[in-house]
């Protein structure tokens, strides 16, 4: 099947994955590398991580157009 016949599923993985990496890898790594761990820095890192994860979830659910009936139709249709 050529690329022109493929229907987009409506999912864009890259920004969602970037937000999740930011939330669960980069922000904690910066917190550890910064060294001075106190309540303010932990709170700020937690808020930033939760916001990034929430944005990733919102982006995923808004852009997802793949439905169960579209999966069950198969590749031939």
pLDDT of residue 14: 85
- Least Cα distance to 52 among 23, 21, 31, 24 occurs for 23
Query: With the C-alpha atoms ordered 45, 50, 55, 57, is the resulting torsion angle positive or negative?
Result: positive
> ∠ at Cα 52 (48, 53), nearest 5°?
115
Residues ≥6 apart with Cβ < 8 Å to 30: 45
The distance between the two most distant Cα atoms of the chain, rounded to a whole number of Å, is: 58
Q: Categorize the per-residue pLDDT at 1 as very low, low, confident or very high, splitting at 50, 70 and 90.
A: very low
pLDDT of residue 45: 93
User: Model pTM?
Assistant: 0.67
Contact predicate 38/12, CB 8 Å: no
pLDDT of residue 34: 84
Segment 19-70, tens digit of pLDDT: 999 999 999 999 989 887 899 999 999 999 999 999 999 988 877 665 555 5
């Amino acid at each position: 099947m050529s690329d022109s016949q493929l229907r987009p599923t409506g999912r864009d993985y890259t920004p969602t994955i970037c937000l999740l990496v930011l939330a669960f890898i980069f922000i904690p790594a910066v917190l550890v590398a910064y060294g001075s761990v106190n309540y303010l820095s932990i709170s700020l890192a937690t808020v930033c991580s939760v916001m990034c994860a929430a944005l990733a979830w919102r982006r995923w659910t808004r852009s997802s157009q793949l439905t169960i009936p579209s999966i069950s139709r198969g590749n031939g249709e």
